[in-house]
A and B are shown apart, each in its own frame.
Chain A
Amino acid sequence: NAGVMQNPRHLVRRRGQEARLRCSPMKGHSHVYWYRQLPEEGLKFMVYLQKENIIDESGMPKERFSAEFPKEGPSILRIQQVVRGDSAAYFCASSPPGISNYGYTFGSGTRLTVV
């Protein structure tokens, strides 16, 4: 019973390129959340998605960032025209429709480095 799978684990992009981060939720989970952890800072909420719907994107930067969770396949966090300040660890979490007693299940993260 695999947990939340994120790939790639590490991603290096040059400034101006696009970064695509993938998240496959835990089996049976239909809700996905993305968080960003900047170096030496705490975690910050970015977006909450259900299948084919963005529920809350209040934490997403206004430009260059987008997220989707299609009917089939993983959730994708897309960062266009990356800049050095986008270098961070990006974590995905998932949950069933009602939060279980153990809350959210997190993935291992994608470490993005922009050079």
Chain B
Amino acid sequence: KNEVEQSPQNLTAQEGEFITINCSYSVGISALHWLQQHPGGGIVSLFMLSSGKKKHGRLIATINIQEKHSSLHITASHPRDSAVYICAVDPYGGSQGNLIFGKGTKLSVKP
């Protein structure tokens, strides 16, 4: 079993829909990251969370440390949101940058 599990693996939505991507992890962490990767492109860091909730534009990330679970929400989705969304954790006690990554959720938003 992977230490970081994401669901769903693939997600297709219509433009304007509310989207939720889930991430569960099995290790103690000091922080959790949500990343975005466009096809053939680089990686963009969206959020770093250690508790609670963060919002940036149409993106909202939440984390429940007790349940070892985080969600990434996209409101009013748009075709330009189509990308792979990756959850990654900084394991507690690990060295900086030694992240454990989920396999990613491939999101496709249709116009």
Interface on A for B, CB 8 Å cutoff? 31, 33, 35, 41-45, 48, 55-56, 58-59, 91, 93, 95, 99, 101-109, 111
Contacts and interface: CB of A to CB of B under 8 A. Distances in A.
Contact of B43 (A44, A55, A109): A109
Interface in B90-109: 95-104
Interface residues of B, number: 23
16 contacts: A41-B103, A42-B86, A42-B101, A42-B103, A44-B101, A45-B98, A45-B100, A59-B98, A91-B43, A93-B43, A101-B48, A103-B31, A103-B33, A105-B45, A106-B43, A106-B45
Contact of A58 (B45, B48, B98): B98
Given A42-B101, A42-B103, A43-B86, A31 B45 contact: no
Contacts, number: 67
Given A42-B101, A43-B101, A44-B101, A108 B41 contact: yes
A59 B95 CA distance: 12
A13 to B, nearest CB: 19
A60 to B, nearest CB: 12
B96 A95 contact: yes
B88 interface: yes
Contacts of A93: 43, 97
B35 interface: yes
A58 B88 CA distance: 17
Contacts of A106: 35, 42-45
B97 A95 contact: yes
A105 B42 CA distance: 10
B97 A31 contact: yes
